[in-house]
Amino acid sequence: MCTDGVAPRRSRVGARCATPLVAALLLAACNGTTSYMDATGDAGHREATLGWWLTAVACAVVAFVIVAVLLGIARHRNDPHRGEEGVMERRDVKSGLSWIYVGVAVSVVILAISFAGTLVTLNAASRPSITPSMTIDVTGHQWWWEVTYSQANDPALGFTTANEIHLPVGEPVRVRLHSADVIHSFWLPQIAGKMDVIPGQVNETWLEARKAGNSRGMCGEYCGMQHAAMALDVTAESPEAFKQWADERRSGAATPTTASASAGRVVFVRSCGACHSVMGSDALGRVGPDLTHVASRTTIGAGALSNTPAHLAQWIQDAPGVKEGARMPAIPLSDAELRDVIAYIQTLH
Ligand code: CUA
């Protein structure tokens, strides 16, 4: 839309292109659910503070230069030594060298403060203040996230979920990053900076939420067709609420009580169990996301659709039609089977 610029109209076309760009940048900076500028995590907060400082300094320098240039032009226009033709008459001109000394000194001081602030921020963001007691192993898949929690002191407290991360406020968590296929990038913008997820290598980072709230995590590196639909729900909550959530995740799925859901479990194990697991059932597949507590998630397909019965039906019947390239094939089920499977999935809280 910005390619119609013939040379004489370039500035107008440039302004037209710049306006949506500036608006998009402002909107991105103001979007509370994804913006790193609105940080609620420990490392993220430090990085956002540095980001605001560097932005303010850059804006101040640009504003100062603009004012200085305008003042110079105004002084030149009002100069009594300017001749009729606008040509300067010969006269003594001060060297102006002292301004260059002042300018260099001020620039060096500003750059040194920015450099020191960057080093302090990078150092503080590189490791948590105390050793984390909890570890999350996050595995990037095309295109979803597998998330396994483990406790150093008690391996029995581990559990696996998908496309969601819960964090206890005020407690640092170690994150080990794995990839099942290609290079991804693990990014919870409001909590901490990005870290690459590389096949054959385990990268480590850490997360610490400073205040409770929900935000959106994402893949920060192009990894194929559905890179954009590779999202995570991030929930920062009180340690008590986190403990309750984790305890629920460690328990297997409840036995369905209605006839429809019971029939749905049989269909699920037969048609879905080779790829998906539901703890406490015979569905043991590890190819796709663990679905033991899928009904409690807000989205399905790693953020592709909101988690409603209609969307579940759409997803089961034709996942590649919703998320082109998704590994999950269309599952041929009769209307009754589909209804029963959805009834079963909705019991998986
Ligand atoms: Cu995974 Cu982009």
Q: Is the pTM of this model over 0.85?
A: no
Do the Cβ atoms of 149 and 159 come closer than 8 Å?
Answer: yes
In the DSSP assignment, the letter for residue 152 is: S
DSSP 69-117: HHHHHHHHHT-TTB-TTSPBPS------HHHHHHHHHHHHHHHHHHHHH
Taking 3-state DSSP, the helix, strand and coil percentages for the chain, each rounded to the nearest 5, stand at: 45, 20, 40
- pLDDT one-digit tens code per residue, 220-254: 999 999 999 999 999 999 999 999 999 988 888 88
* Range 78-100 average pLDDT: 65
Q: Is the predicted pLDDT of residue 307 greater than 90, yes or no?
A: yes
Least confident of 6-20, 67-81, 111-125: 6-20
Atom of ligand 1 nearest to the CA of 224: 2
Residue 28 reports pLDDT greater than 60: no
Ligand 1 atom nearest the C-alpha of 197 is 1
Mean pLDDT value across residues 319-342: 93
Closest CA to 89 of 80, 102, 98: 80
pLDDT band at 89 (very low <50, low <70, confident <90, very high): low
CB within 8 A of 185, min separation 6: which ones?
A: 194, 195, 196, 197, 219, 220, 221
Give the pLDDT of residue 82. Answer: 61
Instruction: Assign 296 to helix, strand or coil.
Output: helix
Mean pLDDT lowest among 7-21, 58-72, 86-100, 235-249: 7-21
Give the C-alpha separation, 196 to 204, whole Å: 9
The answer, yes or no, to whether any atom of ligand 1 lies below 6 A from the CB of 303, is: no
Retrieve residue 46's tokens.
């430090």
Q: Whose CA is nearest to atom 1 of ligand 1?
A: 184
Question: Averaged over 29-36, what is the pLDDT?
Answer: 58
271-305 pLDDT, tens digit each: 999 999 999 899 999 999 999 999 999 999 999 99
Q: What is the helix (H) or strand (E) element at residue 216, kind and residue range?
A: strand 213-219
How far does residue 187's CA lie from ligand 1's centre (Å)? 10
Q: Is residue 221 in contact with ligand 1, taking CB distance under 6 Å?
A: yes
Of residues 42 and 23, more confidence is placed in: 42
CA of 216 to the centre of ligand 1 (A): 14
Ligand 1 centroid from CA 143, angstroms: 7
